[in-house]
Structure 1
Amino acid sequence: MTVSFYGQEASAKRISFLNLVGNNIQVPRGCEAQSEYELQACNGTSIKWDYYSDDMLSAVFDATIEAFGADNSSKTQVTFTSFEAQLTGFKFKTGEAFQYFLKGTIKGQPLMINLGTPTDITGTSDLEGFLKLFFDTAQVG
């Protein structure tokens, strides 16, 4: 019996664009997308988003913040804008990196964004590189 893995190889093609609620964002050179919704370890930064219904978004977000912030006293409130939509959430310091959890609605779609980066984003001027493709503004506090 012969087993062919051809189909698996064909489906493992490289993802060139991320899809944030219909907004196509090109995967930066030298970075690799895990899916249309996740970019891992791109110059030390990872970003992922998940879509939810309105009622599920708050529950999942609150559970995530509670679980992540249980032993972390660095919790700071943040507000970002992405494609003209306001996203609110929290920033945590984890060792030498920062973790951002944001929730909001873009183009009518509720979502949660999980951003991990070595950059301490304290304002819009800290949005460098490919982060400028996702976010228009950033504000802490």
Structure 2
Amino acid sequence: MKNIFTFVLLLATLSFYGQDKKISFLNLVGNNIQVPSGCEAKSEYELQACNGTSIKWDYYSDDMLSAVFDATITAFAESNSAKSEVTFTSFGSQLKGFKFKTGTTYQYFLRGTIKDQPLMINLGTHKDIAKTDDLDGFLSLFFDEAS
């Protein structure tokens, strides 16, 4: 009987801890951003296909950030000729990068430092973000300004 009780307890524990935990908040360098209603985060650092917009960021050292960013821009520019420079502000920090138009979507690659942490942000959306007023919906939770 003791073995059966132990086995049942073990199964209950495994099923409880084996469940996927729904991610409620994104973590952008310690800034918690609530996952918008109706959207689902893949991790604390990635929101996929939320109202046609996806955003992801990765942390790097200064040296790695430059190398990864340059390689990403070079690779993306080879297959996309419509490239323009953009500047966004996020949590008081300036992020610079490029915007590419691919079909009906725009791909933004931004790099900078927030709270002394170098990072690269990859943003894909159907919206052409040319100024701060274009940052509507949940994008205004990530960015203060755009130009």
Paired amino acid for 1:8: G
Gaps of 5+ in 1: none
Gaps of 5+ in 2: 1-6
Q: CA deviation at 1:72?
A: 1.1
Q: Which residue in the other structure is 2:144 paired with? A: 136
1:39-66 superposed Cα distances (whole Å, 9 cap, x missing partner): 0000000000000000000000000001
1:61-104 superposed Cα distances (whole Å, 9 cap, x missing partner): 00000111112111000000000000000000011000000000
Query: Percent of aligned pairs with the same residue?
Result: 74
**Secondary structure, in 3 states, of the residue corresponding to 2:18?**
helix
Q: Distance in 2 between matches of 1:107 and 1:70?
A: 33
Q: Distance in 1 between matches of 2:18 and 2:42?
A: 15
1:111 aligns to 2:111 (yes or no): no
TM-score by length of 1: 0.93
Q: Find 1:8's aligned residue among 15, 18, 21.
A: 18
Q: Find 1:87's aligned residue among 90, 95, 100.
A: 95
RMSD, aligned CA = 1.3
Paired amino acid for 2:71: A
Q: Which residue in the other structure is 1:68 paired with? A: 76
Largest Rg, 1 or 2 = 2
1:20 aligns to 2:20 (yes or no): no
1:99 aligns to 2:104 (yes or no): no
Q: Distance in 2 between matches of 1:125 and 1:92?
A: 19
Query: Where does 1:116-127 land on structure 2 (aligned, <5 Å)?
Result: 116-127=124-135
Paired amino acid for 1:14: K
Instruction: Please state which structure has a larger fraction of its residues in helix.
Output: 2
1:37 aligns to 2:45 (yes or no): yes
Q: CA deviation at 1:8?
A: 2.1
TM-score by length of 2: 0.89
